[in-house]
Amino acid sequence: MIVIAYGSDFIRNTYDALAASDIGTYLNADHSVSLKPNLVEPGPASNGAVTHPEVVEGIILYLRDFGVKRIKIIESSWVGDSTKRAFKFCNYEGLSQKYDIPLIDLKSDSFTTHKHSGYEIKVCDEALNTDFLINIPVLKAHCQT
């Protein structure tokens, strides 16, 4: 399903897009939900490198109206930068305080190693221990994609 929302009200557009989607068929109010924005660095969302906090706020409002109470924001900035600085600069600390949602810096998280077809990948335990993960990327191309 593809849902398109137009306009400059990122909170309303995001909420409306989720409401028009089929996400409710996968969600359960009892789920723990982790939101994974893209905060590659502390910078303004208008530059296109980080997820607009208003988009995440629209998701939070939708989830709350759906009955989901256990919501976290999880992220790890790119190599050499501080996730905590990005949380602060990009106003995710404000979202955390406004909605009483924890911010989890995945750089400090434990991980589990998974093996498949001869490859190993380390996956953060916060991502593994959530019932529902919503990835909120920003389209881009750079050396770490």
CATH code assigned at 113: 3.50.50
Beta bridge partners of 78: none
Looking at residue 53, its pLDDT comes to 95
Tokens at 62, concatenated: 């939708």
Looking at residue 98, its pLDDT comes to 97
Looking at residue 142, its pLDDT comes to 60
Domain that residue 91 falls in: 10-136
pLDDT 10s digit of each residue in the chain, 145 long? 888 888 999 999 999 999 999 898 999 999 999 999 999 878 788 877 889 999 999 999 999 999 999 999 999 988 778 899 999 989 999 999 999 999 999 999 999 999 999 999 999 999 999 999 999 988 766 665 5
Burial 77-105 (b: 16+ CB within 10 A, else e): beeebebbebbebbbbeebeeeeebebbb
Tally of domains in the chain: 1
Q: Is 104 part of a structural domain of the chain?
A: yes
Q: Is 144 part of a structural domain of the chain?
A: no
From CA 125, how far away is CA 105, in angstroms rounded?
Answer: 12
